[in-house]
Amino acid sequence: MKTIKKIDSLRKELYLYVKKRIGLVPTMGYLHNGHLSLIDQSIKENDISVVSVFVNPYQFGPNEDFNVYPRDMERDLKLLEERGVDILFSPDSKEMYPENFSTFVEVEKLSKALCGKSRPTHFRGVCTVVLKLFNIVNPNNVYFGAKDAQQAVIIKRMKEDLNLDINIRVMPIVRDEDGLALSSRNRYLSKREREAALLMPEALKKVNILINNGVFDANEIRKKIVGELKKSKYIKIDYVEVVNLKTLKSVEIIDKENALVAAAIKVGETRLIDNFILGEI
């Protein structure tokens, strides 16, 4: 595996693979099995797989966890080598955002829904870095996890709106044995907090069964999830929403082919999200 930190060097390296299929897995590092599932898929579907590790400052709000976001490059390197990744791109902030950087990408409306309500600049930061990575790597396929369903919906919108000739692949959520969706932030949780956090996947599982049994009233589903989450004093609910998968607008009646049931909570200081998707992003 080649580790490359400079954009020019990465471009030069990629010139060698002009006629090859290139897969890109953008990450912020501190890799877990969710990332590894994306990487495995990229290796399966492409000739060359590039993984980026970059903790993108612009997607963190002023009071968020940018400074303490978990980082372990040594461990990431080992995992990427073992997996058979071809190129690791790990630029520093100055490389990605040189002095006077001032161009941002904003996908309107979709970025204001769900997580956008409490993280107003988050998706602007995500779209900006993702489009930069697309332009630098010029990949055929790019891999994202369904845990960040809103991110995937927004990136697909950006692809359509800006006519990007890239295939966006959204892969299923990977969970720990206890059901918690894998996230680099899970490491912040104490034992007690983790127990509380499990109420979220459990609630989603329960309502998924209700929907499969014909309960399509979105308000009833929402109330059921809220009720389950309120069982723990450690949980602060950010949102529980049932939305249309394309517009991210709230729905009253659930369409089994086109809905997203999503929740965001804070457990102690840790913000966690989870969801299930009905249909395809």
Which residues are marked as active site? Answer: 35
Find the shortest distance in angstroms from Cβ 35 to ligand PAF: 8
Q: Which stretch binds ligand PAF (CB under 6 A): 65-73, 123-131, 160-168, 252-260?
A: 123-131
> Is 273 strand, coil or helix?
strand
Q: Which residue has the tokens 């993702």?
A: 130
Least Å from the CB of residue 215 to ligand PAF? 31
Query: Among 10, 23, 27, 137, which residue sits at the site for ligand PAF (rule: CB under 6 A)?
Result: 27
Give the Cα separation of 87 and 80 in Å (integer).
9
Whole-angstrom distance between the N-terminal and C-terminal Cα of the chain? 32
φ, ψ dihedrals at 29, nearest 5°: 80, -165
Please identify which residue in 10, 46, 88, 148 interacts with ligand PAF, judged by CB under 6 A: 148
In the structure, how many helices (H) and strands (E) does the chain have? 10, 9
Q: Which is nearer to ligand PAF, 26 or 116 (CB)?
A: 26
51 interacts with ligand PAF by CB under 6 A: no
What minimum distance in Å lies between the beta carbon of 10 and ligand PAF?
Answer: 16
**Contact call for residue 126 and ligand PAF (CB under 6 A):** yes
Dist CA 169 CA 25 (whole Å): 10
Stretch that binds ligand PAF, among 85-93, 122-130, 208-216, 222-230 (CB under 6 A): 122-130
Residue partners of 157: CB distance under 8 A and separation at least 6: 107, 110
Residue selected from 28, 50, 242, 261 as contacting ligand PAF according to rule CB under 6 A: 28
Choose between 61 and 227: whose C-beta lies nearer to ligand PAF. Answer: 61
CA 192 to chain centre: 25
- Contacts of residue 149, Cβ cutoff 8 Å, sequence gap at least 6: 170, 260, 262, 275, 277, 281
Q: Using the rule CB under 6 A, which residue among 46, 59, 150, 232 binds ligand PAF? A: 59
Structure tokens at 246: 């394309």
Specify the residue, 29 or 211, whose C-beta has the smaller distance to ligand PAF. Answer: 29
Rounded Cα distance between 237 and 232, Å, is 11
| Options 49, 56, 128, 275; binder of ligand PAF; rule CB under 6 A | 56
- Count of residues of this chain found to bind ligand PAF when the rule CB under 6 A is applied: 10
Applying CB under 6 A, which residues contact ligand PAF? 26-28, 56, 59, 126, 129-130, 148, 151
